Amino acid sequence: MTQTAEATHPAPTAVPAPPLLSVNNIEVVYDDVILVLRGLSLEVPRGSIVALLGANGAGKSTTLKAISGLLKTEDGEVTRGEIIFDGERINGIDPDKIVRHGIFQVMEGRRIIADMTSLENLRLGAFTRSDGEVNADIDMVFNYFPRLKERTGLAGYLSGGEQQMLAIGRALMARPKMILMDEPSMGLSPLLVKEVFAIIKEINRDLGVTILLVEQNARAALSVASHGYIMEQGKVVLDGSADELRDNEDVKEFYLGGAGDQRKSFKNLKSFKRRKRWL
């Protein structure tokens, strides 16, 4: 026997799994004229948490709404490029159909229904489902967020943190493959931010739900994400692993505090170099 095992059975070449979501070079226009996204691309691997970071007005929420189809409700349109989810092109599809494909967006500012109870809000999240496990999933959500179970009154009386938890719980009720979260840290105390992000991490780990996390709070987002994209003026200007981004001097200066109003733009940086890790 002179032949090695490798010679008879060559090791399979590792083919990278296709990302669950891939946004390819999209342009988004509001009201037929206002160009907000200008060739934006990003990828979210299955089972991962990816952060999309950037200052106010960069186009983060627009990106999420392009993916979830909610742009339509604001007279916005994807005019170029494509969005591929789980192997299918989804741009142009109605938002309720996109929920059925397995994407659920947690809107900025929570948007829970104030004059319904937590329980009723959770049931609404399950609107696409006809299986008999809705009650079991309500128990699961209460398990993640025990406080919601104690508060039986109208959701409008919940604290900001509790409303954020309810919004995330409602998303879970759809049993999505992917949750798009728009600034879950907004308006929460640092302690609550920690708590909510720990639960986001847990949900990702336990349930395998893929998460695209939009944040202005780069520090919190990079503490749970494996990869991050930074966007400015409708485009991605930098991307990399969460560790790379945390160690990047420019990211530290602009997005991890310290610079305050002095914040400059990546656009003007000589050191700027786009890294396309997954392309």
Q: What is the DSSP letter of 102?
A: T
Nearest to ligand ADP of 122, 222 (CB atom): 222
Backbone angles phi, psi at 151, to 5 degrees: -90, 100
Smallest gap from Cβ 186 to Mg ion, in A, equals 9
For the beta carbon of residue 60, count every other beta carbon within 10 angstroms: 21
Contact partner, 156, from ligand ADP, Mg ion, none, Cβ < 5-8 Å per class: none
Choose between 68 and 117: whose C-beta lies nearer to Mg ion.
68
User: What's the CA gap between 180 and 69, in Å, rounded?
Assistant: 12
Residue-wise DSSP of 147-205:
HHHH--SBGGGS-HHHHHHHHHHHHHTT--SEEEEE-TTTT--HHHHHHHHHHHHHHHH
Contact call for residue 61 and Mg ion (CB under 5 A): yes
Smallest distance, Å, CB 256 to ligand ADP? 18
If the CB atoms of residues 53 and 122 are measured against ligand ADP, the closer one turns out to be 53
User: How near is the Cβ of 217 to ligand ADP at its closest, in Å?
Assistant: 13
Q: How far is the CB of 25 from ligand ADP (least distance, A)?
A: 17
Report what 142 binds from ligand ADP, Mg ion, none; CB cut-off 5-8 Å by kind: none
Min separation Cβ 56 and ligand ADP, Å: 5
Let me know: does 192 contact 13? Beta carbons within 8 Å: no
Judged by CB under 5 A, does residue 105 bind Mg ion? no
Cα 216 to Cα 244: distance, rounded to the nearest angstrom: 18
Q: Which residues does 154 contact at the CB level (< 8 Å), separation at least 6?
A: 114, 115, 116, 117
Is residue 72 exposed (0-12), middle (13-18) or buried (19+ Cβ within 10 Å)?
middle
Q: Is 73 in the site for ligand ADP (CB under 6 A)?
A: no
Site for ligand ADP in 4-43 (CB under 6 A): 30-31, 34, 36
Site string for ligand ADP, 198-237 (x = CB under 6 A): ----------------------------------------
Q: Which residues bind Mg ion (CB under 5 A)?
A: 61
